[in-house]
Amino acid sequence: MKILVTGGAGFIGSALIRFLINETDHDVLNLDKLTYAGNLESLAPIADNPRYSFIQADICDTASINEIVASFGPDRIMHLAAESHVDRSVDAPGEFIQTNIIGTFNLLNAARTLYERDENDNFLFHHVSTDEVYGSLGEEDFFTEETPYSPNSPYSASKASSDHLVRAWGETYGLPIVVTNCSNNYGHYQFPEKLIPLIIMSAFEQKSLPIYGDGSNVRDWLHVDDHARALYLVATSGVPGETYNIGGNNEKTNLDVVSTICDVLTELRPPGQNLSYHNLITHVADRPGHDFRYAIDTRKINRELGWLPQETFESGLRKTVEWYLENGDWCEAVSGGYEQERLGLKSAN
C-alpha cells in the first residue's frame, strides 16, 4: 500500500513513519514543509530505506499539493501537518488558520480529485486531530466521540475547523475519511518547546522550571509510539466516516508531571550537593484561556479495534528522560533560534 504522510518530520509524524517503515511493508512518502518543528534528523534511523521518500512542500501551496497527490497516488493520506503549539497560536494565530484550515482544505480537494480519478475502493483520508477540540472538563467526566466541540484556543479552534471540513468532504463528496482525536503525546524527538522536553532540558541546565498558574491543570498523557500504533490501526481497520478518540488513561496535573521528571532526573543524574531539581520549580503567569482538564474515554477504539497502550506513564517517562539525556546533539540541532523563552502571552497577532 502507498501511504502519504503529511507532517512526517514532526514529533508524531516521524514516530509514525519510523513505525511504518520498521513494522510494515508499505511505501511511505513524507510531505513536509520543514517549519521550525520539522526535522529530518528525526527520520535518520529509516532515511535510507528504499520504501521511504521525502518531499519538501507546503500544504498551503495548492498547485504543488495537487501535483504531488496526483503523481504519488496514495491509498492512504495520513494528515498530520499542522501548527501544533497552543502558546504560539496565542501569539500568532494567522499561521494556524493558514496551515491547519486552508492547508487541510487543499489536501481534501487534492484527495477528492484523486479518489474520483482512480475510483480506488481502498482509499482513506485520515485526519489526525486533538482532544482539545472538545474544550475543557471539570473534575469528572471524559471526552467521548459524541462530546460537542467547544474549542477555546486559536490552535484548538483551527483543528476543530479542519475536523469539520474533513467530515463535510466525507458527507458531501463521499470521500472516505476517518478522524482521530488524541490526548497529549510525549516521548523521544519532541521539539523542546513542549512541557516534558522543556522541563527535562531546563532542569538539566539548572534553569527554572516554569509551571503555568498553580500547576493543577490536568492532561492525559500518551506515549508517541502508542499513538503511532493506534493511528496505523485506525488507518487500516477504522470504519470510514467514524471518529476514534485515543488516550493513555494517564491523567496527571502539570505539577505531578514536573515533579516526576525531577524524581527521575535525581535518580539518573544526581544534581550535586545542596542542589535539588525540585527547587527549580517556578510558578509563572497562567496561559490565557488555559483549559482545566482533558480526559479521554477510549472505550470505542479499545472495543472496536482492540487497541491498548503498551507504555505506562512511568515507564514511558523514564525512557523519555533517558533519551533526552543521551541525545543532546539532536536537541541542539533542532532548537535553532528557540531559547526556551516563554511563549503565549498575547505578545503579537
Ligand X SMILES: NC(=O)c1ccc[n+]([C@@H]2O[C@H](COP(=O)([O-])OP(=O)(O)OC[C@H]3O[C@@H](n4cnc5c(N)ncnc54)[C@H](O)[C@@H]3O)[C@@H](O)[C@H]2O)c1
Alpha helices in 183-253 (DSSP H): 195-204, 224-237
Closest residue by beta carbon to ligand X: 10
Q: Out of 19, 89, 99, 199, name the contact with ligand X by CB under 6 A.
A: 99
The half-sphere exposure of 98 on its side-chain side, counting CA atoms within 13 A, is: 9
Q: Please report, as residue ranges, which positions from 45 to 74 form the binding site for ligand X (by CB under 6 A).
A: 58-60
Q: Candidates 5-13, 140-148, 198-206, 262-270: pick the segment binding ligand X (CB under 6 A).
A: 5-13
Please state the φ and ψ torsions of residue 214, each to the nearest 5 degrees. -90, 0
Residue 7 near ligand X by CB under 6 A:
yes
- Coil, strand or helix at 28: strand
Q: Which helix (H) or strand (E) holds 182?
A: strand 177-182
Least distance from ligand X to the Cβ atom of residue 1, Å = 21
Least distance from ligand X to the Cβ atom of residue 204, Å = 21
Residue 84 near ligand X by CB under 6 A:
yes
* Residue 113 identity (one-letter amino acid): T
Least distance from ligand X to the Cβ atom of residue 252, Å = 14
Nearer to ligand X, 99 or 249 (CB): 99
107 Cβ neighbours under 8 A, 6+ residues apart: 6, 59, 65, 69, 77, 79, 125
Catalytic residue (one of 32, 83, 132, 251): 132
Q: What is the DSSP letter of 53?
A: E
Q: Out of 5, 10, 209, 280, name the contact with ligand X by CB under 6 A.
A: 10
Nearer to ligand X, 1 or 34 (CB): 34
Give CA torsion, residues 162, 179, 252, 278, to 10 deg. Answer: -60
Is 304 among the residues known to form the active site? no
Q: Please report, as residue ranges, which positions from 176 to 235 form the binding site for ligand X (by CB under 6 A).
A: 182, 184-185, 191
Nearer to ligand X, 30 or 202 (CB): 30
Q: In whole angstroms, give the CA distance from residue 157 to residue 166.
A: 14
Nearer to ligand X, 32 or 251 (CB): 32
Least distance from ligand X to the Cβ atom of residue 159, Å = 5
Residue 37 near ligand X by CB under 6 A:
yes
Is 67 among the residues known to form the active site? no
Q: Candidates 27-35, 43-51, 210-218, 234-242: pick the segment binding ligand X (CB under 6 A).
A: 27-35
Residue 120 near ligand X by CB under 6 A:
no
Q: Candidates 10-18, 45-53, 236-244, 325-333: pick the segment binding ligand X (CB under 6 A).
A: 10-18
- Coil, strand or helix at 69: helix
Is 212 among the residues known to form the active site? no
- Coil, strand or helix at 35: coil
Residue 170 near ligand X by CB under 6 A:
no
Least distance from ligand X to the Cβ atom of residue 246, Å = 8
Instruction: Tell me which residue of 279, 136, 284, 293 sits closest to 216, measured CA to CA.
Output: 293
Distances (CA, A) of 296 to 5, 29, 146: 25, 31, 12
Catalytic residue (one of 134, 155, 232, 294): 155
Catalytic residue (one of 83, 131, 193, 291): 131
- Coil, strand or helix at 44: coil
87 Cβ neighbours under 8 A, 6+ residues apart: 193, 287, 343, 344
Q: Which helix (H) or strand (E) holds 283?
A: strand 281-284
Residue 247 near ligand X by CB under 6 A:
no
Q: Which helix (H) or strand (E) holds 2?
A: strand 2-6
| 225 in Cβ contact with 301 (< 8 Å) | no
What is the residue whose three cell numbers read 506515549? 223
Least distance from ligand X to the Cβ atom of residue 306, Å = 21
Active site residues: 131-132, 155
Which residues of the chain form contacts with ligand X (CB under 6 A)? 6-7, 9-13, 32-35, 37-38, 58-60, 80-84, 99, 103, 128-130, 159, 182, 184-185, 191
